[in-house]
Chains A and B, each alone.
Chain A
Amino acid sequence: MKLEFLAPQTLQDAVTMAKARGGAARFIAGGTDLIIQARKSGAWPEAVINLQQIPGFGEIKGTGPNFSLGSLVTHRQIEREIRFAGALEALRESACVIGGHQVRNVATVGGNLCNASPAADMVPILLCLNAEVALAGSEGRRVVPLANFIEGPRKTVRASDEVMTEIAFAAPAQKFSSTFLKGGRRRAMEISIVAMAGVVSASPDGKMTDVRLAMGAAGPKAIRLTEAEKFLEGKVLSKDVLEETGMLAAAAASPIDDVRASASFRRHLAGVYARRVVELSWNRISELNDDRSAA
């Protein structure tokens, strides 16, 4: 095996190195996807280009409503980020279920998005937050909505010489909260069989508004549940409303049968988790605001 290891110190050098090698080189961040895939398939790339020594991509920035995650921010950083405690809790909930401490200490949010697994756990909540990813390559810089960035299983619009530099999003303007739930056979160290994220806002007259739901692992890529979102606009929470939400979510799923779960069980879970995420998010809005008035 003749793997070449390249350690650029600047973004420009990383792009130039990738460009010079055509598609034969791969960027490496935490390596938790790349190394295992290469070892399993026996197909290492000709070269790996280490992004970890390039300064500036390891920070979480912003004080709200606008935030940005450097692409090299680890899941452990997100899980411990105090700015995301409260209304943006779903970011922490998504990060804290990815592998064990050993994985989360090195695995990055940029790697999670670029690897584009249908079960990538950071994707649903970032879709709900209308996140945009910044890419820098030999043709210059561009910003792409996350929803357009991931095209399908392990397929993105990223060119092979483009480095993802950051992920930006804005918190909703009205009172809101967020939730992430993941279904698997056990609580830790499990690839999602369905992942559900939601962001729910409350209008001044106490109705649900600007509801955003996204589902992972139940189709070729994570998607927003636009039918359920439209249905929930202006509704008050009730058993019937939740029932209908679950049905719309299950209808939007296009799951596969595999060793982890059957398609029909995944579809069933999609409905269950959509109901729970909406109910929990709604209850969290008042909890958050009670806390604030008590403080």
Chain B
Amino acid sequence: MTEVQLDLTVNGRRHRLSIPAHYSLLDVLRDELELTGTKTNCLEAECGVCTVVLDGKSVASCTVLAAQCQGRQVATVEGLAEGAALHPLQEAFIEFGAVQCGYCIPGMIMTAKAFLDENPRPTRESVREAIAGTLCRCTGYQKIVDAIMAAAQRLSQQGERA
């Protein structure tokens, strides 16, 4: 028995899949569920382009076995926007010019999402530390940090209003 029966919830939708035991969570997201917003690159947890949020925590989906996600909740970049309304992180990334080629951005945004959920009032230093595992070869990070700081402020204002 090398196939695993997997029950996985992605962006609020429950999936039941039969997958080979060695599949990573990234394999399942991209190849089985065709959620190709999550990117693939080093496959060694070094670059962070494959970052998704698993039960509230950022993980490198390339180095998590899908079978270990039985019954768990995954959030990917595709689930951030609500209809046509972008998430404050997405809005801020556009507004601050934090996107160049864009390849790192889904992973960067999901890294930031998990971090801000745990740390609603970050410092620039803590943001830099939080994204240390997510590489960007274009932007030089300055504008990414600006965008995350701005999004943090908007999210906490929204939280206060709610």
Contacts and interface: CB of A to CB of B under 8 A. Distances in A.
Nearest to B46: A189
A36 B45 contact: yes
B38 to A, nearest CB: 12
Interface in A1-19: 1-5, 7
Contacts of B46: 189
B21 A3 contact: yes
Contact of B63 (A2, A31, A44, A53): A31
A269 B139 CA distance: 33
Nearest to B71: A53
A50 B70 CA distance: 11
A53 B71 CA distance: 11
Given A4-B1, A7-B70, A101 B114 contact: yes
Contact of A52 (B43, B63, B68): B68
Interface string B49-61: 0010010011110
Contacts of A130: none
B58 A101 contact: yes
Contacts of A82: none
B36 to A, nearest CB: 19
Nearest to A188: B132
> How many B residues are at the interface, by size bracket?
20 to 34
Contacts of A52: 68
Nearest to B114: A101
Nearest to B1: A4
Contacts of A189: 46, 132-133
Given A4-B21, A102-B111, 6 more contacts: A31-B63, A32-B45, A101-B114, A102-B58, A103-B133, A187-B132
B114 to A, nearest CB: 7
A58 interface: no
A72 B134 CA distance: 24
Interface in B30-79: 43-46, 48, 51, 54, 57-60, 63-65, 67-68, 70
Contact of B59 (A3, A36, A48, A102): A102
B2 A4 contact: yes
Contacts of B54: 105
A272 interface: no
A187 B131 CA distance: 13
A1 B44 contact: no
Contacts of B4: 5
A101 B48 CA distance: 10
A85 interface: no
Contact of A44 (B22, B115, B130): B22
A39 interface: yes
Most interface-central of A7, A35, A99 (chain B CB within 10 A): A35
User: What is the size category of the interface that chain A forms with chain B?
Assistant: 20 to 34
Contacts of B160: none
A100 B68 contact: no
A39 B42 CA distance: 12
A32 B2 contact: no
A31 B130 contact: no
A188 B127 CA distance: 13
A43 to B, nearest CB: 12
A101 B115 contact: yes
B67 A50 contact: yes
A261 interface: no
A187 B64 CA distance: 25
A243 to B, nearest CB: 34
B133 A100 contact: yes
Contacts of A31: 63-65, 68
A36 B44 contact: yes
Most chain B CB atoms below 10 A, which of A28, A52, A76, A105: A105
A187 B48 CA distance: 17
A55 to B, nearest CB: 14
Interface in B125-144: 129-134
15 contacts: A4-B1, A5-B67, A28-B65, A28-B68, A36-B43, A100-B111, A101-B114, A101-B115, A102-B48, A102-B111, A187-B132, A188-B129, A188-B133, A189-B132, A189-B133
